[in-house]
Amino acid sequence: MPPRGLDPSGVVLVDKPAGPSSFAVVRDLRDRTGARAGHAGTLDPFATGLLLVLLGRSTKLAQRFVGLDKRYLTEIDLTARTSTGDREGEVIDEQAPPSREELERRLEDLRGEVDLPVPAASAVKIGGERAYRLHRRGEEVEMPVRRSTIHSLELVEYDGRTARLDLLVGSGTYVRSIATVLSGHCRSLRRTEVGPFHVDDADPERIIPAEEALAALR
């Protein structure tokens, strides 16, 4: 008999709704299947879209999936910045939104290799403690800057206040940081792709064998 929790094994593509944390989605699959489980890249509770959950023996393959590029659709409110870079934070600055021409110029500066501040409400450790815990206690800390790769960043729609963007970014890029640099905050965030995997193929009932999932990476 195999050790407890190693089966079933494979990768599950989940279309996470807004509200639950990534951990809650993982916990649900763990409880439902009886297998150990973990995700390959978290999504904020307010965000939706593709979450890769690894089950059983496949959890040891996490590093093969964590570093994949990711595609997002986001709506950024350019009238105000918030403390978290999203709609759940407190407004800390308000301003008139830019013209379309000015917005296009700002977007051009964000393509390629860029240095972005890590959001205060993130899981990065500062002095051995998660940044979001320090943020919740109201402690102000200097957040590190992270080199990020933005492969593509396209303006899909702009109504003079809210910009809808389609972006393909390297692993570890915070879309909330991009919103903050643009002097706005994310109203919505949806992950549509992780490497070769697409949210349209999400099915929480289907466990993709590890061999099939790894073959898609080649």
The count of other CB atoms within 10 Å of the CB of residue 68 is: 17
Region of poorest pLDDT, from 14-28, 123-137, 139-153:
123-137
Tell me: the pLDDT tens digits for 74-120? 999 999 999 888 888 889 899 999 999 999 999 999 999 999 987 76
pLDDT band, residue 127 (cuts 50/70/90): low
Q: State residue 218's pLDDT score.
A: 83
Q: What DSSP character marks residue 206?
A: -
Tell me: the pLDDT tens digits for 183-207? 999 999 999 999 999 999 999 999 9
Higher pLDDT, 120 or 165: 165
Higher pLDDT, 179 or 2: 179
Q: 127: which residues sit within 8 A by CB, 6+ positions away?
A: 141
Q: CA nearest 139: which of 83, 80, 81?
A: 83
pLDDT band, residue 141 (cuts 50/70/90): low
Task: Please pick, among 44, 93, 166, 203, the residue that the annotation labels catalytic.
Answer: 44
Q: State residue 175's pLDDT score.
A: 94
- Domains of the chain (ranges; CATH) run 10-67+196-215 (3.30.2350.10), 70-193 (3.30.2350.10)
pLDDT band, residue 172 (cuts 50/70/90): confident
Dihedral over Cα of 144, 96, 72, 203: its sign: positive
DSSP-based three-state secondary structure for 162? strand
pLDDT at 176 exceeding the cut of 80: yes
Q: State residue 129's pLDDT score.
A: 56
pLDDT band, residue 130 (cuts 50/70/90): low
**Residue 44 bears catalytic tag:** yes
The count of other CB atoms within 10 Å of the CB of residue 37 is: 23
Beta bridge partners of 136: none
pLDDT band, residue 133 (cuts 50/70/90): low
